[in-house]
Amino acid sequence: MKIFNIADYGATFSQELQTEKIQKAIDDCFLAGGGRVLIPCGIYRTGGLRLRSRVELYLESGAILQGSRDPEDYLSFIKDKIEPVTMEPIGNTPATGRSAVATSRWCNGLIRVLDAKDVAIVGEKGSYIDGVNCYDPQGEENYRGPHGISIWRSENIRFEGYTFINSGNWCHAIFQSKNITAKNLTVYGGHDGFDVRTCDNILIENCIFNVGDDSIAGFDNNDMVVRGCTLNTACQSLRLGGNNVLVENCVSDERNFGFRLRLSLEEKMAGALSNENCRRECTVPFSYYCDHRAILRKPAENIVIRNFHTKQTKELIRLEFTGLHRWCCNRSLREITFENCSFREILRAGMLWGDPNEKVICRFKNCTIACKEGFEKEPFLVAANFEELLFEDCTFEGWEEPTLLVATDEPVKIIRSTPIQVEKSTPEECMEAHPWGVVPEDRAAGRTFRLSADQD
């Protein structure tokens, strides 16, 4: 393998940006037919880099690739002469909104990959990529900066070994790509740990996500495996939709970073991690995600979550195909199964609200479901529009009487489980038990989601 050491290109430890020198090493590696771009031990400050086909970015132990605090330093790809980029128009539809356009400012990244093959980012133990929580007043929610790694329309992508800290927005943002492998990564702080949308053949294995937003998110993904991961979050451990998805041997048990939206403007500008006002608790272990920014290639089904153990989580599950929220407005979840899982310290009702025209199948098998002390009288779930809702060999702990509120007429199957009180309720009563819910009739009153270029 040919090696291109950035030190040979003049990259040094300096307050000055080393972007051009590092990019020159990447470009020469690409033009030579591929190889390894070596980041030796040291701190190298950089703006946005474009990684290309057949190039492996390799960080030695002690190497720190540190992003710029200026969001304008992430736009150099626009002037790329080796692989010129056609800037795509941004509009106000789901297909042309800024998060659906590869060349938009929202899709900026410390490391960018566009239309490439056989790309890798590998780090030895003790190597870091630091997004410095870059502040961008033009970014999402008027403060989020570039993603850590932004990838579009690429294939055969490998991530391994490094630690990523303080991503300005999502740490890994991957769209319309295939054959993606992530192993032994650690992600601290920032926002979402790993997002994939309209991707195929994904493996995320033995990774640690300890983040201020969703651990793993995305939809319209086929053939996805998440295995042996820590999914600590201040939002949702899994915010997913897809076909043929397996999550197994994972845990979610600590909340070390908060969601940064509630930081003051001064704190956001300074790149602060979080403060006492930031939300830290896990909202839900699994939330179904499917908005209008993709035409689903397959129904969301055959999702299996096995040996997943969580605590300090508000809800059991969230599927809210009710018409209000844009993140669940495309096509509803068709099928999901939980096996050998435990969900502890639940403090409010979850939601399983499917599409009346395509009802959901949801199965809990050999699961332990326990409420937090002080919430013994709260229902654990509100449900409607399901073809099958099964609790088999399940144990409920802590509740005076585990209660499920059902707003439609489908039967609930309870096999060899702690007895459950199933109460027929109105949609209004169910929604009162779930603060994020909305009565379906509200659609007629105009209380529906709005789609615009600003919705990411």
> For residue 445, is pLDDT > 60?
no
Among 49-58, 118-127, 150-159, 290-299, where is mean pLDDT lowest?
290-299
Nearest to 46 by CA among 169, 140, 131, 105: 131
Tell me which of 442 and 327 has the higher pLDDT: 327
pLDDT of residue 279: 83
Q: Give first-to-last CA distance, the chain, whole Å.
A: 40
Among 178-182, 311-315, 438-442, where is mean pLDDT lowest?
438-442
How many percent of the chain have pLDDT more than 90?
81
pLDDT of residue 435: 63
Give tens-digit pLDDT for 109-151: 999 999 999 999 999 999 999 999 999 999 999 999 999 999 9
Could you tell me the maximum CA-CA distance found in the chain, to the nearest angstrom? 72
**Cα-to-chain-centroid distance, residue 249:** 18
Give the pLDDT mean for 262-291. Answer: 90
Amino acid at 305: I
pLDDT of residue 198: 97
Whether the Cβ atoms of residue 281 and residue 258 lie closer than 8 Å to each other: no
> For residue 186, is pLDDT > 70?
yes
Instruction: Give the strand pairing for 342-346 and 368-371.
Output: parallel
Residue-wise over 189-201: b if at least 16 C-beta within 10 A, else e? bbbbbbbbbbbbb
For 115-235, list the strands marked E by DSSP: 117-123, 128-130, 147-152, 155-160, 163-165, 172-175, 178-183, 186-188, 194-197, 200-205, 208-211, 216-227, 230-233
Give the pLDDT mean for 43-70. Answer: 98
pLDDT of residue 292: 86
pLDDT category, 436, cuts 50, 70, 90?
Answer: low
Whether the Cβ atoms of residue 201 and residue 208 lie closer than 8 Å to each other: no
Nearest to 421 by CA among 408, 434, 406, 402: 402
Please state the φ and ψ torsions of residue 162, each to the nearest 5 degrees.
-85, 165
Give the pLDDT mean for 208-216. Answer: 96
Query: Which H/E stretch holds residue 176?
Result: none
DSSP for 349-378, please give it. -EEEE-BTTB-EEEEEES-EEEEPTT-TTS
pLDDT of residue 219: 96
Q: How far apart are CA 253 and CA 251, in angstroms?
A: 6
pLDDT of residue 293: 85
pLDDT of residue 205: 98
Give tens-digit pLDDT for 14-29: 889 999 999 999 999 9
Q: How far apart are CA 373 and CA 304, in angstroms?
A: 29
> For residue 450, is pLDDT > 70?
no
Give the pLDDT mean for 416-440. Answer: 79
Q: What are the Cα distances from residue 25, in Å, to 62, 114, 116?
A: 19, 18, 17
pLDDT of residue 275: 85
Nearest to 285 by CA among 256, 259, 250, 317: 317
Give the pLDDT mean for 414-432. Answer: 90
pTM of the model: 0.94
Structure tokens of 414?
């309870």
* Count of CB atoms situated within 10 Å of the CB of 178: 18
> For residue 312, is pLDDT > 90?
no
> For residue 71, is pLDDT > 60?
yes
Whether the Cβ atoms of residue 299 and residue 330 lie closer than 8 Å to each other: no
pLDDT of residue 95: 84
DSSP for 31-99, please give it. HTT-EEEEE-SEEEEES-EEE-TTEEEEEPTTEEEEE-S-GGGG-GGGG-SSS--PPPP--SSTTTSGG
Structure tokens of 17?
């940006």
Amino acid at 455: Q
**Which domains, from first to last, does the chain contain?**
1-188 (2.160.20.10)
